[in-house]
Amino acid sequence: EALVDIQRGMARSRPAVMEGRDITTVVLKEARWKFFLTADAEERAKRRKMEMEEKGHTVDFAQLLDEIIKRDESDRQVGPMKEAMEIAAREDGDIVMLDTTSMTPDEVVNSIVERVKAGMEGLA
C-alpha cells in the first residue's frame, strides 16, 4: 500500500510513464493512456535470455521458456494481469493491447506515441 501511494504521488506530481504488472489495474486505474504490452512466450524468452547473457549470466533457454509459460498460465487465472487482459480484450475497455512479438523497441515506442497523438487529436 505504501508503494502504491508513492507511485500515485509520482504520477500526480508530473507526467509519468510507468510499467509493471499492476499499474493499469491497481496503481493508476484512472490513467488516460494504458497499454498492455505482450509478446509470445518464445519471443519473450529470447529477449530475456539475451538480456541476461549481456549481464554475464548463463541461461538455459528451455528452462526460461518453461518458467515464462508457467507464469503466463498463473497470470491468466488470478490477479491484476488477469483483469488487465480481460479489460484489454473488451471492445469498450480502456487498456490497449499491443502485441510486440515482431516489433523492435523503437517500433513499440512509436506505436504508443502515435496512438496517444491520435487520441489527443480526438480530445481537441
Quick: pLDDT tens for 49-64.
Answer: 999 999 999 999 999 9
Residue type, 110: N
Helix (H, G, I), strand (E, B) or coil at 123: helix
Residue ranges for the chain with pLDDT beneath 50 = none
CB atoms inside a 10 Å sphere around CB 12: 9
- Start-to-end C-alpha separation, the chain: 36
pTM of the entire predicted model = 0.79
- For the range 44-49, what are the long-range contacts, defined as Cβ-Cβ under 8 Å and sequence gap of 24 or more? 44/68
**Residue 38: φ, ψ to 5°:** -140, 165
Cell numbers linked to 122: 480526438
Q: What is the pLDDT of residue 123?
A: 64
